[in-house]
Amino acid sequence: MALVFDRPKSLTDKKFHYCPGCHHGIIHRLAAEALDELNIQQKTVVIASVGCSVLAYDYFDTDAVQAAHGRAPAVATGVKRASPESVVFTYQGDGDLASIGMAEIVHAAARSENITVIFVNNAVYGMTGGQMAPTSLMGQQTSTSPQGRSAESNGYPIRVCELLATLDGPSYLARVSVHDPKHVREAKKAILKAFQMQIQHQGFSLVEVVSTCPTNWHLTPVEALEWLEKKMLKQYPLGVFKKIEGVE
């Protein structure tokens, strides 16, 4: 019988530890499929960050470096500059990338470091138990904004793609989602594009994936998908925010 669907080669056999309804599993798979299809598994180094995806180095069947909270773009810079033939990507959450690691991501983008960033935005700190993130929505209740995020005490959520799009450095910035099969397919295309940019020496590429955290949103997986579609996508519209021309 012909095998039509299998685990990507670029994933290990290790079972994901992620909660039911969490999108990390899908996003890991899409990244791994991209590595397989571009035939770059053997030269890829993944930079794992701090957050729920801290154990990414257990899941990607590639060499890996685990980075301190927020520092993944700096670590990736070091790896890529010292080993330019390697394909280097970071896998970061919103607390990691948009709060403690804001300086590192902005400057890696500004330098146009030839790396790829997969940025998972689920509007909450997952691993530490559902605290407010820089991307939490206005009014969103979290364990550190129990009355809901207010402009007065917490300020406003950060749109990372739009912010980075003001820079000259990035070659490709896209925001995607994986809340239904159509969007999964589009997300896959964006992730492929981001890696292609790196392979073609075009400089910094980033794909932001708007995703769910049913556990810390206190919703069922199905409710979480609805919340993402109705609330998250209003604050974080999908689309391509930067794409340099002439790259196929």
- Contact with another protein (CB under 8 A) among 22, 31, 32, 54: 54
What residues numbered 3-22 form the site for another protein, per CB under 8 A? 12
65 token code pair: 């470096």
Least CB distance to another protein at residue 158 (A): 18
Instruction: Map residues 172-211 to x or -, x wherever contact with another protein holds by CB under 8 A.
Output: ----------------------------------------
Least CB distance to another protein at residue 78 (A): 2
What residues numbered 81-120 form the site for another protein, per CB under 8 A? 81-83, 85-87, 103-104, 106-107, 111
State residue 197 phi and psi, 5-degree precision. -55, -45
Q: Choose the stretch contacting another protein; rule: CB under 8 A; options: 71-79, 119-127, 201-209, 222-230.
A: 71-79
Mode of pairing for the β-strands spanning 44-48 and 63-66: parallel
Does residue 169 bind another protein (CB under 8 A)? no
222 CB contacts (<8 Å, ≥6 apart)? 21
Least CB distance to another protein at residue 47 (A): 7
- Contact with another protein (CB under 8 A) among 57, 125, 172, 227: 57
Indicate the SS3 state at residue 53.
helix
Q: How far apart are CA 189 and CA 19, in angstroms?
A: 25
Beta-bridge mates of residue 202: none
Alpha helices per DSSP H over the chain: 24-37, 56-59, 72-82, 94-95, 102-110, 151-154, 160-164, 181-199, 214-217, 221-227, 233-235
Residues engaged in binding another protein (CB under 8 A)? 12, 41-45, 47-48, 54-55, 57, 61-68, 71, 74-83, 85-87, 103-104, 106-107, 111
